[in-house]
Amino acid sequence: MLIAGAAIFFYAPTDYLQGPVQRIFYLHVSSAIAAFGCFAVVLVGGVIYLRNESPAADRFARSGALVGVVFTTVTLVMGMLWAKTVWGAFWVWDARLTSTLVLWIIYAGYLLVRRLADPGRQAARFAAVVGIFGFIDVPVVHFSVTWWTTQHPGPVIINDALPPQMLATFLFTMACTVVLAAVMIAIRYRIETLVDEREQVFEPAKVLVAREPEPVQ
Amino acid sequence: MTYLILAYAFGVAALGGYLFWSLRRLRELERIQGGRS
């Protein structure tokens, strides 16, 4: 990440129109892509959990949701600071910004459900459903700039609109950010495993057997 | 320029802070687990 930071500030050229503030783009977009990857982990974990009630899949989903919310927060805040300079306002209610905020709310809600509900199979099942349906918003966020007229800039990577030095810096930053997200999920997964073991969340339910009352003498 | 610095300061604080907090929590849980076994 340090090398990526050096590339962003010293290797990538300054944008002619936007000036230095355009450099926000590198971590802003990379964080958004990392967040999408994290929410894909929630989707896959949720589907696997609903199929075979695997505690490991549920832990992966929980980990992906938390890390995804962190990356979405970074995306939103960095985007707002870029917008203030370029648009003159921190926030406009266009399709890209609104759908990203909705994405953040969905997965923050997912985490809230996990925190407030009693840990166990029922909470895991309900959260899996929220995680799966929540992922519908990911393609909405991605395609929002092509489906609707937005103030947010359209895709620049697939339209080949970046000069080679900017593209190289972006791809390197994106690779580093995705690896960082994977490391964060792995650490979180280990934390969730230790917490589950401590609280014995997925222990089989104890069957209470009624005993014969002892005769009164 | 101020917003560029603010943006990266926030990004580094959020990601670095989360990573640091996670590693601390993991170490704490592993210490508890190690003490119990």
Please list, in sequence order, all residues whose beta carbon lies within 8 angstroms of the beta carbon of residue A130, skipping any fewer than 6 positions away. A106, A109, A110, A113
Q: Per DSSP, which regions of B1-37 are E strands? A: none
pTM as predicted: 0.88
- Facing B3 at nearest CB: one of A27, A71, A85: A85
Measure the CA angle with vertex A36, ends A34 and A42; round to 5°. Answer: 110
Of B26, B9, B28, B25, give the one whose Cα is nearest residue A9.
Answer: B9
Best residue of B2, B5, B21, B22 to probe chain A, by most A CBs closer than 10 Å:
B22
Only one residue has tokens 């990526």, namely A4
Domain ranges of chain B: 1-37
Enter the tokens of residue B33: 């687990």
Give the Å distances, CA to CA, from A64 to A22, A35, A143.
29, 9, 22
Please list, in sequence order, all residues whose beta carbon lies within 8 angstroms of the beta carbon of residue A59, skipping any fewer than 6 positions away. A45, A189, A192, A193, A196
Of A133, A175, A184, give the one whose Cα is nearest residue A33.
Answer: A175
- Total count of domains within chain A: 1
Rounded CA separation B29/A138 (Å): 33
Rounded CA separation A113/A106 (Å): 10
- Cβ-contact A32, A104 below 8 angstroms: no
- Estimate to the nearest angstrom the gap between the alpha carbon of A189 and the chain centroid: 15
Task: Give the range of the structural domain holding residue A46, as residue numbers without chain letter.
Answer: 2-199
Please list, in sequence order, all residues whose beta carbon lies within 8 angstroms of the beta carbon of residue A172, skipping any fewer than 6 positions away. A3, A4, A7
**What distance in Å separates residue B9's CA from the closest CA in chain A?**
10
Q: What is the pLDDT along chain A (217 residues), one digit of tens a residue?
A: 888 888 888 888 888 888 888 899 899 999 999 999 999 999 999 999 999 988 899 999 999 999 999 999 999 999 999 999 888 889 989 889 999 999 999 999 999 988 887 777 888 888 899 889 999 999 999 888 888 888 788 777 766 778 888 899 999 999 999 999 999 999 999 999 998 888 776 655 544 555 666 666 6
Best residue of B20, B23, B29 to probe chain A, by most A CBs closer than 10 Å:
B29
Residue A48's domain is classified under what CATH number? 1.20.120
Enter the tokens of residue A185: 């999920």
